């Protein structure tokens, strides 16, 4: 007898075995789900105006360790009370995205049903890169791709879409596809300078992830051509074109022009049509980082703001931002399906098939950096199936209108100054009390932003614009109304008064110092 049957490791009288069974038991799921649903329901119904509470990392680590079973020195059965405390700790340290005081970041509360479905995809996974492992996920990819293609005006049979875990990875993948399209041997032999020095051109306000790409793909940070902005924080075409032409004349092989439809600082949308003209004329791949505003394609009213995006070679949309589904889920579109495979060219017989068939044509594994990938697209498909895309469009339109109303209101206040006209749902502004110079005003915004955050009622952000600090709000919560904006203004003025009392603005050198 080659193999002798031994007593099972999981002996019913063994406490470790009991804990093992408990950890994977359907009964444990029933109990934990009941606790979680009660907590989540309570959170969703909470209407308190609140921001974020920052705790000292060491204190938080100590509390988190205290909740761990291993910290007690012995195994323990599932404890609903301990689980409840862990959920409480998580919610306590989370950003309150459902609060009307939350105006800081570009992620939103999600459709509750999508959150529930996210749990289902975790319990019964469908790794989304290959059809046999993720059937519905790969079908949903194609359905959503066709829905967007129809709105863009692309042929669904010749374009393509993949999903990635975040916009940073989507941008990297698109620029890599652009590099390999121009420098087709670079994947195998490395980057060469046969047609000049490889370079990319970007907006001065492009997302920082794009500026990491040249270092990652081997062309170097020195070969990023930065394009200046106009007073609306868009690429200034009048000034950018001569810079691009000069770079080409000097031997730069600009293989990709990366522009924005919704910059992170202010939500600006670059002049898509004019920049597409230049890219086409010079044979440059045009990639649009539309992580924030690409969702405007779903709104009849907002879609014209993206006129020209249909001429891009590629663009991406963060579904976890303005499509309001759980993170991370980014849609990366290619106008030419044949270019989608250009980012990666590899042999891996355990996953890739050389010959496309009725099933493998649905797969994205060969076009995607990721292999095992959560089927995040299903959360978006679910919203389409349950409510239709119009519910997303309605929320987007409300948030954009609300931001414009906030802009109009702030512009009317003598002690506030807006930095730009909003094109999306992001607004930057300054609190400008009399008697302060520009350096003092800039310093005040930083101190003010932290004071507001620490006050616990509102959570806003800050950004640097042309060397000065300004306040920034992002409208992501459809329950925010102008009364909440007015309450924020009152909070800003109150906190500023407290701050200025502690400053000696009459210092001889003109700076502010604490008394």
CATH code (residue 279): 3.40.640.10
The rounded percent of the chain whose pLDDT value lies above 70 is 89
Among 386, 407, 441, identify where a domain stops: 386
**Claim to verify: residue 301 and residue 407 sit in the same structural domain:** no
**Claim to verify: residue 395 and residue 358 sit in the same structural domain:** no
Q: Residue 349 has what pLDDT?
A: 39
**Claim to verify: residue 196 and residue 281 sit in the same structural domain:** yes
Q: pLDDT grade, residue 360 (50/70/90)?
A: low
- Does position 400 have pLDDT exceeding 80, yes or no? yes
Q: Residue 183 has what pLDDT?
A: 85
Q: Residue 272 has what pLDDT?
A: 98
Question: Is residue 6 assigned to a domain?
Answer: no
The radius of gyration of the chain from alpha carbons, rounded to an integer in Å, stands at 26
Q: What is the pLDDT of residues 210-261, one digit of tens each?
A: 999 999 988 999 999 999 999 999 999 999 999 999 999 999 999 999 999 9
**Claim to verify: residue 403 and residue 498 sit in the same structural domain:** yes
Dihedral sign from CA coordinates of 229, 235, 236, 239: positive
Q: What is the pLDDT of residues 166-202, one digit of tens each?
A: 999 999 999 999 998 998 777 777 787 777 899 999 9
Q: Residue 198 has what pLDDT?
A: 94
What are the CA-CA distances from residue 329 to residues 146, 166, 229, 400, 445 (Å)? 17, 6, 29, 22, 33
- Does position 71 have pLDDT exceeding 60, yes or no? no
Q: pLDDT grade, residue 432 (50/70/90)?
A: very high
Question: Is residue 115 assigned to a domain?
Answer: no
Q: Residue 22 has what pLDDT?
A: 84
CATH number, domain of 490, equals: 3.90.1150.170
Q: Residue 18 has what pLDDT?
A: 76
The mean pLDDT of the chain is 89
The mean pLDDT of 291-298, rounded to a whole number, is: 98
Q: Residue 207 has what pLDDT?
A: 92
- Does position 474 have pLDDT exceeding 60, yes or no? yes
**Claim to verify: residue 402 and residue 345 sit in the same structural domain:** no
Query: What's the CA gap between 183 and 169, in Å, rounded?
Result: 20
DSSP states of 406-420: HHHHHHT-TTEEESS
Q: What is the pLDDT of residues 492-510, one digit of tens each?
A: 999 999 998 887 654 334 4
> Could you list the residue range(s) of the whole structural domain that residue 29 is in?
17-42+51-84
Give every CB contact of residue 78 below 8 A, 6+ residues apart in sequence. Answer: 22, 23, 28, 31, 32
pTM: 0.90
Question: Is residue 108 assigned to a domain?
Answer: no
Query: What's the CA gap between 376 and 118, in Å, rounded?
Result: 8
Q: Which residues are bridge partners to 314 per DSSP?
A: 287, 334
**Claim to verify: residue 367 and residue 408 sit in the same structural domain:** no
Q: Of 251, 175, 253, nearest to 217 (Cα)?
A: 175
43-47, 448-452, 480-484: the lowest-pLDDT one: 43-47
**Claim to verify: residue 316 and residue 201 sit in the same structural domain:** yes
Q: What is the pLDDT of residues 1-60, one digit of tens each?
A: 444 544 444 444 566 777 788 888 999 999 999 999 999 999 999 988 998 888 999 999
HSE of 111, CA atoms in CB hemisphere, 13 A: 25
SS3 273: helix
Q: How many domains does the chain have?
A: 3
Question: Is residue 90 assigned to a domain?
Answer: no
**Claim to verify: residue 420 and residue 376 sit in the same structural domain:** no
Question: Is residue 207 assigned to a domain?
Answer: yes
Instruction: Name the one residue in this structure whose structure tokens are 């989507």.
Output: 170
**More confident: 2 or 203:** 203
Q: Residue 9 has what pLDDT?
A: 46
The mean pLDDT of 337-366, rounded to a whole number, is: 64
């Amino acid at each position: 007898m080659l193999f002798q049957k031994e007593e099972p490791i999981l002996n019913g009288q063994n406490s470790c075995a009991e804990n093992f069974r408990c950890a994977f038991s359907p009964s444990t799921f029933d109990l934990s789900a009941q606790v979680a649903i009660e907590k989540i329901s309570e959170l969703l119904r909470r209407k308190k105006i609140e921001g974020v509470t920052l705790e000292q990392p060491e204190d938080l680590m100590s509390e988190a360790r205290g909740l761990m079973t291993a910290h007690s020195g012995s195994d323990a059965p599932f404890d609903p009370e301990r689980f409840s405390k862990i959920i409480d700790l998580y919610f306590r340290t989370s950003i309150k995205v459902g609060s009307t005081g939350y105006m800081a970041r570009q992620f939103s509360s999600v459709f509750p049903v999508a959150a529930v479905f996210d749990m289902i995809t975790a319990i019964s996974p469908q790794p989304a890169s290959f059809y046999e492992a993720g059937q519905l996920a790969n079908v949903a990819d194609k359905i959503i791709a066709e829905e967007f293609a129809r709105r863009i005006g692309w042929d669904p049979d010749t374009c393509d879409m993949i999903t990635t875990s975040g916009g940073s990875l989507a941008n990297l993948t698109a620029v890599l596809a652009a590099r390999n399209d121009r420098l087709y041997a670079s994947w195998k032999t490395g980057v060469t300078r046969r047609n000049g020095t490889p370079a990319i051109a970007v907006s001065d306000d492009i997302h920082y992830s794009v500026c990491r790409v040249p270092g990652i793909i081997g062309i170097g940070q020195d070969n990023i051509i930065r394009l200046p902005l106009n007073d609306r924080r868009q690429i200034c075409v009048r000034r950018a074109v001569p810079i691009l032409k000069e770079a080409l004349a000097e031997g730069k092989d600009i293989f990709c022009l990366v522009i924005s439809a919704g910059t992170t600082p202010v939500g600006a949308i670059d002049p898509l049509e004019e920049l597409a003209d230049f890219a086409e004329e010079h044979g440059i791949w045009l990639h649009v980082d539309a992580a924030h505003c690409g969702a405007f394609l779903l709104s009849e009213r907002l879609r014209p703001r993206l006129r020209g995006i249909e001429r891009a070679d590629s663009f991406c949309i963060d579904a976890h931002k303005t499509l309001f589904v759980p993170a991370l889920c980014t849609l990366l579109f290619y106008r030419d399906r044949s270019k989608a495979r250009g980012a990666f060219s590899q042999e891996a017989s355990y996953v890739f098939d050389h010959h496309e068939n009725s099933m493998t044509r649905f797969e994205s594994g060969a076009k995607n950096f990721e292999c095992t990938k959560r089927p995040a697209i299903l959360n978006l498909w679910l919203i389409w199936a349950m409510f239709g895309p119009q519910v997303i469009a309605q929320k987007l339109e409300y948030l954009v209108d609300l931001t414009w109303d906030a802009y109009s209101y702030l512009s009317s206040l003598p002690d506030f100054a807006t930095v730009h006209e909003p094109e999306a749902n992001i607004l930057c502004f300054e609190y400008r009390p009399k008697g302060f110079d520009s350096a003092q005003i800039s310093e005040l915004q930083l101190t003010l932003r932290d004071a507001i955050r620490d006050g616990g009622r509102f959570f806003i952000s800050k950004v640097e614009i042309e060397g000065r600090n300004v306040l920034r709000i992002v409208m992501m919560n459809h329950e925010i109304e102008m009364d909440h904006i007015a309450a924020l203004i009152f909070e800003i003025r109150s906190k500023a008064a407290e701050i200025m009392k502690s400053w000696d603005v009459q210092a001889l050198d003109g700076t502010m110092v604490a008394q």
